[in-house]
Structure 1
Amino acid sequence: MVTSPAPTDPVSERARWRAFAVCLGAGFMTLLDVSIANVALPSIEDSLDADPSELQWIIAGYSLAFGLMLVPAGRFGDVLGRRGVFVTGLVGFVVFSAACGLAPSAEALAVLRLLQGLSAGILNPQVVGLIQELFRGSERGRAFGYFGATVGIATATGPLLGGVLIAMFGQDEGWRAVFLVNVPIGLALVPLALRYIPAARPARRRASLDVDIVGLALVGAAVVCVMLPFVVAAEGQGTGSPWWLVGIGAALFGAFVLWERRVERTGRSPVVTSSLARTRSFSFGIVVGTAYFGGFTGVFLLGTLYLQQGLGLTALQAGLTLTPFALLGALSASRSGRLVQRFGRWTVVGGIVVMCLGIIGVDLVVASIDGPGAAVAMAAFLGLAGLGNGIVISPNQTLTLAEVPVERGGSAGGVLQTAQRIGASIGVAIIASVFFAGLGDSSGAANGYGPAMSQGLIVTLALLGVALVAALTDALRRRRLAPAG
């Protein structure tokens, strides 16, 4: 069971939830852009005469830049105040979304997507940090539940919304609408953020000079080195991926750990404190989040390719097939706050089991059924998987950050989200490589796409199994530590 002291923040309940609503709106936009651009790639290719390498960076660049900024931005929010950093990221995201929608060339769009991803990475840790700061106890569980629903909806409805916009505005202009849709929403959120998100406290401002620049640079470089080969490989060009960078990234992470210990010994404030690293709930949560995101994120890539290229569905029809995952995931996520307060880590264990059952059902469908009936059956099992997904992501965030001090909420949340982004990049790369290797034989359901997707889903289930073992181990550990009676 998750316990926390009662709220002591002077911000009223209504003001807290208004600030949180602004956070959800901004978080939804940035997470939506992780997946929405995928269905626009054929339109971008035709409109801007983009080559495969440019298309690769239009997608991969956003995720890479997003992951790069999470930990540094979380720390800046901790020491400079979350409202200012949040608004900075939000304004940047709006500006670069507009620029993406007006991009004159594929090269310009690839660069602008990097800048858009950096802005998203600045904004997102402030959402987690604000939840830590504004809420306690059961309210915090509810807030993370709603945030989890937002993550699930944004991830799963990206292809659907992208398909709708392309259908409305056509192949030549629809891809621009995919980016421009962020502009009016963002412009509405900026004044609301300035009005409702609490300003930094004076004590926090006084700490602003104590920022570990070397530590931030080391972790940023390490994230780039680890993620870059996987995001390149995930776009189907794994043979040219710079895998040697993974070794350099591992060395940089080691240097980061040694540097952080030195900073802490001198009495300064490190990016990640040793007490945070020793917190078992945080460590188990990182493992669960990394493995889980590595497994479930690849389902949408495989599903989109299978539905559009294997079954011949349109982008809109493919999006509709994936929608039950989002809708039922949002429903279960909205209830997950109560569940995690009552059952603790067992909530996550149960969610992963349900998720696995749904993925097993999808696996059986795509491997054996052909034609329109396959899409219908797939949608049903994706709905079951979504129910499980909704009670994994936000409860894991709640449990992972439950023992983290409020003043470290942004940086801790950034570490968690970075681990999830790295997990997603690695998982998608492995799953995609297995999928494309399985396409060598065009026989079988959906012209060979069914068996190929089935092979990819085996990797998904293996990664979900790692998350399940970590969650189960933590649940048993917590039960042993729980007071009798």
Structure 2
Amino acid sequence: MGTPGAHGEEGADPRRWKALTVCLVAGFMSLLDVSIVNVALPSIRVGLHAPPSDLQWVVSGYALAFGLVLVPAGRFGDTHGRRNAFVFGVVLFTLSSMVAGASPGSTWLVVARVVQGAAGGVINPQVSGLIQQLFRGEERGRAFGLLGATIGISTAIGPLLGGLLIQLGGQQEGWRYVFYVNIPIGVLAIVLAYRYIPGGGAGRRREDMDPVGVLLLAAGIFLVLLPLVEGQRWHGSARWLLIPAGLLVLAGYTAWERWYGRRHEPMVDLSLFQRRSYALGALLGLLYFGGFTAIFFILTQYLQEGLRYSALQAGLASTAFALGSAPSAALGGRVVTRIGRPLVAIGLVLITIGLAAVDLVVRLVPAHRVAWTIAIPLFVAGLGNGLVITPNQTLTLSEVPVAKAGTAGGVLQTGQRIGASVGIAAVGSAFFSQVASTHGDYALAFRHALLVNIAFILAALVAALTDVLADHRRRASTPTRTPP
């Protein structure tokens, strides 16, 4: 019997590739807003006379809300229909983008960004869930390859697009274009979603959403993320007490899910983590995003604040990474089912080589040529990135039942958001403390922070190699049958 989405099988949804295109457009829009705002902050400060605390929340409020809703949103899509959840998220994202662009003051902008982040958190687990639902076998790898390319390109090209829009709109009002650009994209995605994305849900009862589990998980993630995303504004050591408090709440959440799971359908099936592919893949994603996301944070700071590059010039410097990510992500999606986790390890080695070369460029090349010279090592790192995000996503979700795909994808992306926040906090702390202690030596600060980036990448490589070795031992211990 044909399985929907299987390559060449009867019953495959003929709209699946068009549905994927709609999902990727909306996913690109939501992920782009994670990075595009970084280069717009100086324009927002000038245009709205925004205090530093509000500027921090323009960035951190989005990331915090995004991470909080991923798992409940994935669960909602699993139980009530992924198309409904997807369209709701896109509508909310489009409206909040409109409010953000029209904000008369920084408080309005912060509120709009929090809502926008929550909407992005609703959209993204539906995308991975729909890929699980609509595709099988090698086609699923290709679909995740396109998703990986979308993630890499949106993160790397955000500063460039932001710089272009600010140049177009001017320093005073250019930041508004960063948000207005989402409106036509969102409207188009809503219209096409009803045309191409299949409807219908699992038909479970509304009480299966596990409200106590939702609240415990949200509270735990909030307590862990808050001191990380507020790291540059909230000084003092007291904020770090929230992290163990959050871990205690998450431990309580785990205990609740085990108890609740014996009687009802839990929000997250904890048996997912008994699958090595899922547990190690989730850990690898957390560690990798800790290093990957923070690269562009310190790069734009170094180029704009240290070398006085414009927003457009700083954005152009990261384009090489996107150019490397796109083809390698597509390739990785095609071959991951044949090569497996070794492909991820190869990608992580390439990224490490690329970032080490960036460090050499900063050491040896004159400041006025740095942005253009680092294009080659960033391209190499981008090639590695495409071999990490896509294959890891495919392998991590490969054994997850389709009925739980949205929730599993939400958990995976929550780990990535936590990793990104931890990475930005750690890398940002290394960068800014070095700037302060050296009285403005941005090059030295960038190189010190880059070492922290590389440490996260190497930790992810250890997780990948652990899975490779475990798989090798399993195959070696499996007896080989010889024909009689």
- TM-score by length of structure 1 reads 0.95
Q: 1:186-335 alignment to 2 at 5 Å?
A: 186-201=186-201, 204-233=202-231, 235=232, 237-239=234-236, 242-266=239-263, 268-335=264-331
* 2:404 matched residue in structure 1: 408
Structure 2 residue matching 1:205: 3-state secondary structure = coil
- Whether the 8 Å CA contact 1:236–1:433 is kept in 2: the answer is no
Structure 1 residue matching 2:318: 3-state secondary structure = helix
Question: Residue by residue, what CA displacement relative to the aligned partner does 1:340-394 show, whole Å, maximum 9, x if unpaired?
Answer: 1221000100000000000000111113332222222212111110000011001
Q: Please, which moves more after superposition, 28-37 or 376-385?
A: 376-385
1-side partners of 2:238 and 2:107: how far apart? 20
- Whether the 8 Å CA contact 1:230–1:241 is kept in 2: the answer is no
* 1:352 matched residue in structure 2: 348
Question: Residue by residue, what CA displacement relative to the aligned partner does 1:57-95 show, whole Å, maximum 9, x if unpaired?
Answer: 111100000000000000001101100010000100000
The one-letter code of the counterpart of 2:450 is: L
Question: Residue by residue, what CA displacement relative to the aligned partner does 1:152-182 show, whole Å, maximum 9, x if unpaired?
Answer: 0100111100000010111122100000100
1:333 Cα shift? 0.5
Q: 1:172-187 alignment to 2 at 5 Å?
A: 172-187=172-187
1:12 Cα shift? 3.9
* 2:458 matched residue in structure 1: 465
1-side partners of 2:240 and 2:34: how far apart? 23
The one-letter code of the counterpart of 1:460 is: N
1:480 Cα shift? 2.7
2-side partners of 1:103 and 1:11: how far apart? 48
1-side partners of 2:324 and 2:5: how far apart? 32
1-side partners of 2:430 and 2:366: how far apart? 21
1:439 Cα shift? 1.2
2-side partners of 1:452 and 1:236: how far apart? 19
Match of 2:436 among 436, 440, 453: 440
Match of 2:363 among 367, 374, 392: 367
Task: Indicate whether 1:142 and 2:135 are aligned.
Answer: no
The one-letter code of the counterpart of 2:203 is: R
1:441 Cα shift? 5.2
- Whether the 8 Å CA contact 2:7–2:139 is kept in 1: the answer is no
Question: Residue by residue, what CA displacement relative to the aligned partner does 1:6-29 show, whole Å, maximum 9, x if unpaired?
Answer: 569976454000100000000000
* 2:416 matched residue in structure 1: 420
Structure 1 residue matching 2:35: 3-state secondary structure = helix
RMSD: 1.8
Task: Indicate whether 1:79 and 2:79 are aligned.
Answer: yes
1:132 Cα shift? 0.6
Task: Indicate whether 1:338 and 2:328 are aligned.
Answer: no
1:239 Cα shift? 3.4
1-side partners of 2:252 and 2:204: how far apart? 29
Q: Please, which moves more after superposition, 242-251 or 83-92?
A: 242-251
Unaligned residue ranges in structure 2 (runs of 5+): none
Q: Please, which moves more after superposition, 11-20 or 293-302?
A: 11-20
Describe the shift of the 1:441–1:370 C-alpha distance in structure 2 as closer, same or farther (beyond 3 A): farther
The one-letter code of the counterpart of 2:279 is: S
- Whether the 8 Å CA contact 2:208–2:265 is kept in 1: the answer is yes
Q: 1:361-400 alignment to 2 at 5 Å?
A: 361-400=357-396
Unaligned residue ranges in structure 1 (runs of 5+): none
Q: Please, which moves more after superposition, 33-42 or 8-17?
A: 8-17
2-side partners of 1:10 and 1:260: how far apart? 39
2-side partners of 1:281 and 1:472: how far apart? 12
Structure 2 residue matching 1:210: 3-state secondary structure = helix
2-side partners of 1:242 and 1:40: how far apart? 28
- Whether the 8 Å CA contact 1:229–1:241 is kept in 2: the answer is no
Percent same amino acid among aligned pairs? 51
Structure 1 residue matching 2:15: 3-state secondary structure = helix
1:442 Cα shift? 4.9
Question: Residue by residue, what CA displacement relative to the aligned partner does 1:254-287 show, whole Å, maximum 9, x if unpaired?
Answer: 0011000101112x11112132121111100011
- TM-score by length of structure 2 reads 0.95
Q: 1:78-117 alignment to 2 at 5 Å?
A: 78-117=78-117
Structure 2 residue matching 1:239: 3-state secondary structure = coil
